Structure 1
Amino acid sequence: MNHTRWKLSRERATAEDRQGMSEVEAVRTEIRMAFDLGQAVYDRRAELGISQSELARRASMTQPQVSKLELGGTVPTLPLLARLAKALDASLNIALDGDNSTVVFTGHAA
Structure 2
Amino acid sequence: MRHNTWRTSRVGRLAGEPVEYDQEYVDARLAGDLGQAVYDRRVELGLSQGELAERAGATQPQVSRMEGGDTVPTLPLPRRLARALEGSLNVAIDEGEARVTFTPRAA
Q: What TM-score bracket applies, with the shorter chain setting the length?
A: 0.7 to 0.9
Match of 2:31 in 1: 34
Bigger Cα displacement from structure 2, 91-100 vs 35-44: 91-100
Report deviation, 1:77.
Answer: 1.2
Unaligned segments of structure 1, at least 5 residues: 1-23
Q: Which has the larger radius of gyration?
A: 1
| In structure 2, C-alpha distance between the alignment counterparts of 1:102 and 1:26, rounded to whole Å | 15
Please give the secondary structure, in 2, of the residue aligned with 1:91: strand
AA aligned opposite 1:58:
R
Identify the match of residue 55 of structure 1 among 52, 55, 64.
Answer: 52
Asked if 1:105 is matched to 2:69, the reply is no
Unaligned segments of structure 2, at least 5 residues: 1-20
Match of 1:65 in 2: 62
Match of 2:89 in 1: 92
AA aligned opposite 2:37:
A
Report deviation, 1:99.
Answer: 1.5
TM-score with structure 1 setting the length: 0.75
Structure 1: which 4+ aligned runs deviate by more than 3 Å? none
Identity score, percent: 60
Say whether the 8 Å CA contact 2:50–2:59 is kept in structure 1.
yes
Deviations, residues 53-95 of structure 1 (Å, cap 9, x unaligned): 1000001111111000001111111111110100100111111
TM-score with structure 2 setting the length: 0.77
